[in-house]
Structure 1
């Protein structure tokens, strides 16, 4: 069950693209802090985040680094390793992690769905 995340808490975003940038800008307007895990230091989301981690969303240690500094995680890309995210669930809330992620991971199932 997802707990409420209140303004002043930190949202960790996995990915640094334009979608992550829009999420970050909206979150900051609402009073949240934003951290980003990105593989480019000048990515669109890193430019507006409060802080960022330069790394890969395919490496557990980089994801754990983001989780340790965040109150909740979200991600911008369907190219995420669902198994890695599942291994983070005991430590941090990932509200969008559900069966939808597994469907998105398999393009044939996604198209059928």
Structure 2
């Protein structure tokens, strides 16, 4: 199975920036409905083509993601075993019980940062 990722930024003025080869994905224009994976089947002779294959996941964000964010997300999806590691369980955390004066009544007793 081949994994492909296309990331684009659409600006309020209708212009776009993309980090894919635009010749492979066509012109990216933000002046109409957003249609994912479907070509223009209603217009005979249209140059708009659909996606051949499956669309597994789409994400739409209301803010621009940094190139680092996009790269990390790609690495996490395409090769998770190289993105993180799992090791043996470490020792637990020891917690002391809260003093009774803290536990009784609303805000009982002054708190000076030391129990």
Q: TM-score range by the shorter chain?
A: under 0.3
Bigger helix fraction: 1
Using structure 1 for the length normalisation, give the TM-score: 0.25
Bigger strand fraction: 1
* Structure with more contact order per residue of length (Cα contacts < 8 Å, sep ≥ 6): 1
Greater C-alpha radius of gyration: 2
Using structure 2 for the length normalisation, give the TM-score: 0.25
